[in-house]
Amino acid sequence: MFLNLIQVALGGAIGASMRYLTNVGVMRWIGPGFPYATLIVNVVGSFLMGVIVVVLSRKGGTQYAPFLMTGILGGFTTFSAFSLDTLTLWERGDHVTAAVYVGLSVVLSLAAIVAGLAIARALA
């Protein structure tokens, strides 16, 4: 358990640094106006999650999942985990649950940020 925690922490530091560098690089390259960096991070992270899931399962490398998937990709973007969870539900044939999960994730996350902003602004 402790070794897994170390792997996640190290991978998370790497992934978060990669996300920061992506944000800085895209902002310098394209500029502000549209959240291109977030879009790029989410798409690339989801693509890499798909590749890593298949490679680790076929090569018997699931011991690297905490470092690669939860750590690096989790630090880079949690959207990749959301994408994997949704696709897993869909591939199991649980289409309604997948759709409800997507809907609830988007609506509740947007509601939560509105609530957080409102509370913080009211207290500030």
DSSP 3-15: HHHHHHHHHHHHH
The confidence score (pLDDT) of residue 4 equals 95
In eight-state DSSP terms, residue 33 is S
Domain assignment present for 23: yes
> Is 88 inside any structural domain?
no
pTM of the full structure: 0.81
Q: What pLDDT score was predicted for residue 24?
A: 96
- What is the count of structural domains for the chain? 1
Residue 18 lies in a domain: yes
Q: Give the pLDDT of residue 6.
A: 97
pLDDT value for 96? 97
| pLDDT score of 5 | 97
- Gap between the Cα atoms of 71 and 34, Å rounded: 27
The answer to whether residues 60 and 54 touch, using CB atoms and an 8 Å cutoff, is: no
Q: State the residue for tokens 């939860």.
A: 70
pLDDT at 124: 79
Measure the CA–CA gap between 99 and 84, rounded to whole angstroms.
Answer: 13
Residue 7 has a pLDDT of 97
In a domain, 64, yes or no: yes
Q: What is the pLDDT of residue 14?
A: 98
What confidence score (pLDDT) does residue 17 get?
A: 98
| Residues of the chain predicted below pLDDT 50 | none
Assigned domain for 55 exists:
yes
Q: Please give the residue range of the domain that contains residue 8.
A: 2-77
